[in-house]
Amino acid sequence: MSLSWPWMLLTLVALPILVVAYRAQLHRRAQRRDELARQALIAVAPTARDRLRHVPAVLLLAALTLLLVSLARPTATVAEPRREGTVVLAFDVSTSMAAKDVTPTRLDAAKAAARSFVARQPASIRLGVVAFGDSAVVSQQPTDNRAQVLAAIDRLTPQGGTALGRGIASALGAIAGKPLHLDDGAQDGPGGTDIGYYGSAAVVLLSDGENTTSPDPLELADLASTAGVRIYPIGVGSPQGTVLEVDGFQISTALDEDTLRQIAKTTDGTYYSASDTASLAKVYDSIDLAWTTRSERHEVTSWFAGAAALLLLVGAGLSVVRTGRVV
């Protein structure tokens, strides 16, 4: 513990003066009592009744001591538990995400869910954004700057096919802080790639689940599981699907929940549906990031003042009960 204004401890010199004044007051009262007793005006009280007579005064003195110390603005190092880690929001920005079976569109619904998620994160959580269609790109490296994360989300527009595997690979690369190079270039999956272990990291995968190109997303999910990264897929769309018109062609598209559920199961994550607002609200609580303890210096003047107030009330109460007066 340290003091911001140590010179205020000079006020403690008042304490010995108060002790002397208190003893002088007791002496005067004792003399007055003896004088009245000699005149047979009062009876001398048994000594046993006065054993606790100094307790209220001691409590009041202790309260005053704490108040004077609080004037020096004491600070202490306090251990604070906090969640820390990295969460990457991986957005499917394929053409099918422009479908309107979720109002207003699948991609807009995904953005709204992501904004709500970002708003609920504590400052100790770093957030990143990945966008994937035919290919994948890290739109925002993990950061604690919420404005940059929201700006990256707002820039997303639908185009191209759906490469779920590449989206997961880019998310893992953002977590690891280095690009994840697939062994085959595009066909055989991640192979024996080792990116390290990141137990306090997670991926929130917002997609309709319709994978259209390699690599196999389940192989990338295996890699994520090996790295300790949980994936929480959010299915955007309706299982019955809809028809989307693109460049004069009609394309049928539907939510593929089976793939997203398998990804969640492989990485020990949880699958949610974007059509269910109540379940989306649980994403924040479900993501299991590490709890750490960080020591922070805080001014504890209020602690001293609170303890002083408590002692003051107890001391004054005892004094009033015993003598009918505070001092």
Least confident of 90-94, 180-184, 187-191: 187-191
Range of the domain at 133: 80-292
Contact status, residue 183 vs residue 158, Cβ threshold 8 Å:
no
Q: How confident is the model at residue 131, as a pLDDT?
A: 95
Range from 184-188, 199-203, 257-261 carrying the lowest mean pLDDT:
184-188
Model pLDDT, residue 279: 58
- 123 and 262 in a single domain? The answer is yes
Burial of residue 229 (number of CB atoms within 10 Å: 0-12, 13-18, 19+)? buried
Q: Which tens digit of pLDDT belongs to each residue from 203-228?
A: 999 998 888 888 899 999 999 999 99
Contact 215, 186 (CB under 8 A): yes
Residues pairing with 272 in the sheet: 234
Whether residues 144 and 279 fall in one domain: yes
- Which pLDDT band holds residue 114 (cuts at 50, 70, 90)? confident
- Per-residue pLDDT at 41 exceeds 80: no
238 and 258 in a single domain? The answer is yes
How far apart (Å, rounded) are the C-alpha atoms in residues 277 and 283? 10
Q: Region 132-149: what's the mean pLDDT?
A: 93
**61 and 118 co-located in one domain:** no
119 and 27 share one domain: no
User: pLDDT band at 82, cuts 50/70/90?
Assistant: low
**Helix or strand or coil: residue 227?**
coil
Query: Does the pLDDT value for residue 20 go beyond 80?
Result: yes
* pLDDT over threshold 50, residue 185: no
Q: What is the pLDDT of residue 186?
A: 40
What domain count does the chain have? 2
What are the CA-CA distances from residue 105 to residues 21, 99, 118, 134, 242 (Å)?
80, 5, 20, 19, 12
Amino acid 244 reads: L
306 to each of 12, 67, 70, 79, 309, how far by Cα in Å? 18, 9, 10, 20, 5
What are the b/e assignments for 36-65, b being 16+ CB within 10 Å?
A: eeeeeeeeeeeeeeeeeeeebbebbbbbbb
- Which of 57-71, 108-122, 132-146, 178-192 is predicted least confidently? 178-192
Instruction: For tokens 């299915």, name the residue.
Output: 235
Instruction: Indicate whether 94 and 8 sit together in one domain.
Output: no
Q: Which residue has the tokens 């955007």?
A: 236
Same domain, 127 and 59: no
Domain of residue 105, CATH code: 3.40.50.410
Confidence band, pLDDT 50/70/90 cuts, at residue 88: very high
Q: By C-alpha distance, which of 31, 47, 50 is closest to 39?
A: 31
86 and 222 share one domain: yes
pLDDT for position 195: 83
Q: Are residues 90 and 137 in the same domain?
A: yes
* 287 & 301 share domain: no
Same domain, 93 and 207: yes
Give the pLDDT confidence of 272-326 residue by residue, as tens digits: 887 655 555 566 666 766 655 566 778 888 888 888 889 888 888 877 777 666 6
Q: Is residue 109 located within the same domain as residue 127?
A: yes
CA distance 221 to 169: 9
* CB 105, CB 238: distance < 8 Å: no
Helix 55-70 / helix 14-38 crossing angle, nearest 10 deg = 160
Q: What percent of the chain has pLDDT over 90?
A: 24
